[in-house]
Amino acid sequence: MDTDYRILEEDILRLYREPIVGANYNNTYGEENLINLVNKYRSLSPEEMKFMQELVTGYSQSPDLASSYVSVGVLHALGFSQQVEEAYAWAQTQDNSGHFTSHFDIGKSLADHFISG
């Protein structure tokens, strides 16, 4: 394997952070982050895709709301329905489960609106 996964992980994390969710009209709910993450995934080799899928799946169950709902949107856009269901199940275990699930719904809606097959 030629891939330096540390560099790939840093690049993926940067796509979560830049631009900042809510910082401008074009990224009110993380639309740009979602699009950039999906495009990144689609540009990777199969081994790198697997690595990114594992990272995004982990972030979908993060207490950081922006990371988790953008991740759910990415997983939804890429057709990983089992991972999306697992994120919703995780959210149900949280004290503020409704807050998470409503944002997960937003992430899925963003994916449906901004990502084409």
Give residue-wise pLDDT tens across range 74-87.
999 999 999 999 99
CA max distance for the chain: 42
**pLDDT tens per residue across span 20-43:** 888 888 888 899 999 999 999 999
89 in Cβ contact with 72 (< 8 Å) = no
Q: Could you tell me if 103 and 68 are in contact, meaning their C-beta atoms sit under 8 angstroms apart?
A: yes
Mean pLDDT score of the chain, rounded to an integer?
94
Q: Domain ranges in the chain?
A: 5-114
Q: What is the reported pLDDT for 22? A: 87
* Residue 17 parent element (H or E): helix 5-17
Q: What is the DSSP letter of 64?
A: S
Cα–Cα distance for residue pair 86/7, rounded to 1 Å = 27
